[in-house]
Amino acid sequence: MNKSESIKNLVGALTSLQGKMVAVKKDATNPFYKSKYASLDTIWEAIRKPLSENGLSITQTMNLVNDKSVLETTLYHT
């Protein structure tokens, strides 16, 4: 995959994004540990708009590495 040699614009977008982020509400319960956590749906709902407003997007793909399934997360910036 091609990657930018400079991350100047990406860093600016991430800085702006972090300034707009708020704490994600813990909306689910883990019955085994009796603890609360934020579900993936709630996390995506909280970050989708701030990511988009800063020209950022995320993809996740499954790959095989040494015959093992690996989840790869990629951050993109316009």
SS3 for the chain, per residue?
A: CCCCCCCHHHHHHHHHHHHHCCCCCCCEEECCCCEEECCHHHHHHHHHHHHHHCCEEEEEEEEEECCEEEEEEEEEEC
Average pLDDT over residues 2-27: 90
Nearest CA to 26 out of 36, 11, 16, 17 is that of: 36
Single pTM value for the model: 0.77
pLDDT digits (tens, 9 = 90+) for 26-51: 999 999 999 999 999 999 999 999 99
Joined together, the tokens standing for residue 49 give 């708009």
